[in-house]
Amino acid sequence: MTDDAKPLAGRVALVTGASRGIGAATAIALAKAGAHVILVARTAAGLEQVEEAIHAAGGSATIAQLDLADGDSIARLAAAIDNRWDALDILILNAAMLGTLTPVAQIDAKEFSSVLTLNLLAQQALIAAFDPLLRKSAAGRLIALTSSVGRNPRPYWGAYGASKAALDTLVASYAEEVRNISPVRAAILDPGATATAMRRLAYPGEDQTALKPPEAVAERIVAILTGNFETGARVKA
């Protein structure tokens, strides 16, 4: 039986972009709910702080420092997890890059490539690498974080918005592909205006105290994972 206080006990979760912001808050919330959390990000110091917070609260976590732009590192991580655990129960695709907000005609090609690499290509690589492990779970769950600009184009947000629009389509397609052949379910979450470092870059003059904290989004993610949702669902925090 599942402990009501630890509804995710016995589950293994992986969170990308787990060193700060929504990713860090989500990792801590998942651990509080009983999951063992694999923390993925490039920044070692941030990952260590999150791991310490999880351990201090009585949870468990494993650090996996890597650059998601390196497709080989994703494959190696999947192999390592497969060797250690029977399955991956939860995959949270949170890591993303904002890039420069600029007119479409002035988008820097090199930076645009970097945005697409992290926000889209790395996400597909993660799905490809961990799909077999999600299918081994009795209830594999994938949640990808998106942005409203992926659906509602906004001036100067073309590069980031295009990457999120493509991610939405990618995850929605995956959700349909697993619908009738496995217990895996995938959902797309729009966190809305949240007090994060990325948001501060986009809106440097904004009062972040008026925004929801990352912890509110994390709580929403845990609620989604512990409830029932239709695969392919698009939800808001």
Catalytic residue numbers, as ranges: 160
H or E element that contains 26: helix 21-32
Decide: 55 and 61 in contact? Cβ < 8 Å.
yes
C-alpha distances in angstroms, 77 versus 51, 63, 139, 170? 18, 11, 21, 22
- The amino acid that residue 19 corresponds to is S
Q: Where are the beta strands (DSSP E) in the chain?
A: 12-16, 36-41, 60-65, 90-93, 141-145, 185-190, 233-236
**Structure tokens given for 138:** 């009795």
Q: Return d(Cα 20, Cα 156) in angstroms, integer.
A: 25
CA distances from 78 to 52, 86, 134, 234 (A): 24, 12, 11, 26
